[in-house]
Amino acid sequence: MKILIVNTFDKGGAANACLRLYEDLLNENIAASLLLQNKKNNIPNAHTLNPNQKKQSVISKIQGKFRRVLKKLKLLVKEPVSEDNAFLKSRSKGLEWFSFPTSNFDITNSPLYQEADIVNLHWVAGFLDYESFFKKNKKPLIWTLHDMHPFTGGEHYEEKYLGMDADGFPLKRAKTNYEKNVSSKNQRLIIKALKKVQNLTIVAPSTWLATEAKKSDAFQNRKVYCIPYGLNSEIFKPHDRKYSRELLNLPKDKKVILFVADSISNNRKGFVYLKKAFEKLERNDVVLCAIGQSDNAFDTKNNVLELGLIQDERIMSIAFSAADVFVIPSLMDNLPNTVLESLMCGTPVIGFPVGGILDMVAHGKNGLLAKEVSVDALLESLNIFLNNIEHFDRKVIRTEAIKKYDLKVQTKAYLTLFENILDKKNDKRTY
């Protein structure tokens, strides 16, 4: 059984989840290979693919030469902006990625694709050209969704909110006609590309994303399975609290609230809700510890500690062990790796009742779910937790997390799915 896993990047949350599965398949002696558009790290049996060279018309060639001459003469102030880039620049700041379903890459040209028995697509925005790939593909496909992009027409998360009102509630986002038209055009292309595809199975890590996929025009007639992400429980594990705080230079005599995000300015991550709630938290025995690119998000440094960006998983496990609670104020999310990492380290989690967070946080057992998405609801949850820390048993939290989210659980589920798909392919009675 030869498995090809396809992902655009080897960095980021989706890439981390993809690579964990890939590396554990190798540990299980599965003939797995990895195809990336951008490779930055040294990963076993990982390969990249060169983009196709598009054939230019005579007019395009003349225009290109003319632009180069003008540039040399310093008469060309700036390069013309493509339609796609013009659209991306028009979008509101703070919104999640928007990607088009087109690409200059042909994955079917890769020898890895040609040798594979099953192709497992992951986060493939900017790498997968929908129209040509699904037209040429003859392999059984599993598509692991990491966000909503494969079925929204471009948005990686179809965000309902943008900004916050004076009372600490989210403001409803109004899509522009420009956004609606571009998304509709892309969606028509996606649906047309998928229309005649028969050998496609969808996997979503969270119940929420599986439900959204099943409701979509793109995947409503597809089999959709829910297989949660997995973590190596030997890497993400509890460390001594005192040792962890000494290592990270955190105060030993205060309660530590941990927040983690690649970019704090990302609207969907909801940092502004935690920031406002923390400002209203009338306690001197608490510090907020932030990991990620702060983007000058803090007006005051009082009781706020910034550790910057941490990419080492073992150091992250120490950070979770040092914290009393991890807060994830995301307004939308799939199955955040950070929540899994926190629970594996035995650290309780506070979050809003949205997306895959509902799958992971059992209210009152391994954390708390705020009553609604608002500053005051988050503040209430923080106060309840801080007044009842002893109620949360970190050993039990870790034990339950291992049962559901150990990497071996995920790998076993994928192997079962791979085998079932190959059995159907080899059983002529299914055709």
The structural domains of the chain, ordered by start, are: 2-57+67-230+408-430 (3.40.50.2000), 241-405 (3.40.50.2000)
Please check whether residue 187 is in contact with residue 152, taking contact to mean a CB–CB distance below 8 angstroms.
yes
Q: What's the pTM value of the predicted model, to 2 decimals? A: 0.90
The pLDDT value given to residue 55: 44
Q: Across all residues in the chain, what is the average pLDDT?
A: 91
**For residue range 33-56, what is the model confidence (pLDDT) as tens digits?**
999 998 888 888 899 988 874 444
What residues are paired with 170 via a beta bridge? Answer: 164
- Does residue 79 register a pLDDT over 70? no
- Does residue 428 register a pLDDT over 50? no
270: left (phi over 0), alpha (psi -120 to 50) or beta: left
Q: How many residues does the chain have?
A: 431
Which two tokens mark 135?
């037209």
The pLDDT value given to residue 355: 98
What's the mean pLDDT in 199-204? 97
**For residue range 372-398, what is the model confidence (pLDDT) as tens digits?**
999 999 999 999 999 999 999 999 999
Burial of residue 49 (CB within 10 Å: 0-12, 13-18, 19+) is: middle
What's the mean pLDDT in 204-211? 98
80: left (phi over 0), alpha (psi -120 to 50) or beta: beta
**For residue range 141-159, what is the model confidence (pLDDT) as tens digits?**
999 999 999 999 999 999 9
Rounded distance, CA 159 to CA 172, Å? Answer: 9
